[in-house]
């Protein structure tokens, strides 16, 4: 799927419509409301502090969960 998105650009208009099939990757209810991000820093991230900061900013009903997804 990543190869399909590699040529996309936000700066240029595209005529082609890209449709993604929803049933390719089964998703749990927990994953539906997920935000995946990346910290752009070379220093170590203090996960407890980030969890507290995100919870204070977003006020999520189910809390905040931070996972290390590893290197790119």
| pLDDT, tens only, 7-62 | 766 676 767 776 766 666 677 766 666 777 777 888 888 888 888 888 888 887 77
Q: Which ranges in the chain belong to alpha helices (H)?
A: 2-5, 29-32, 47-58
**pTM of whole model > 0.75?**
no
Our measurement of the distance from residue 67's CA atom to the centroid of its chain's CA atoms, rounded to an integer in Å, reads: 11
């Amino acid at each position: 799927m990543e190869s399909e998105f590699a040529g996309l650009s936000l700066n240029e208009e595209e005529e082609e419509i890209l449709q993604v099939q929803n049933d390719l990757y089964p998703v749990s209810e927990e994953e539906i409301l997920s935000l995946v991000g990346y910290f752009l820093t070379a220093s170590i991230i203090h996960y407890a502090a980030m969890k507290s900061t995100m919870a204070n900013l977003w006020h999520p009903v189910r809390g905040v969960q931070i996972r290390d997804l590893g290197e790119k």
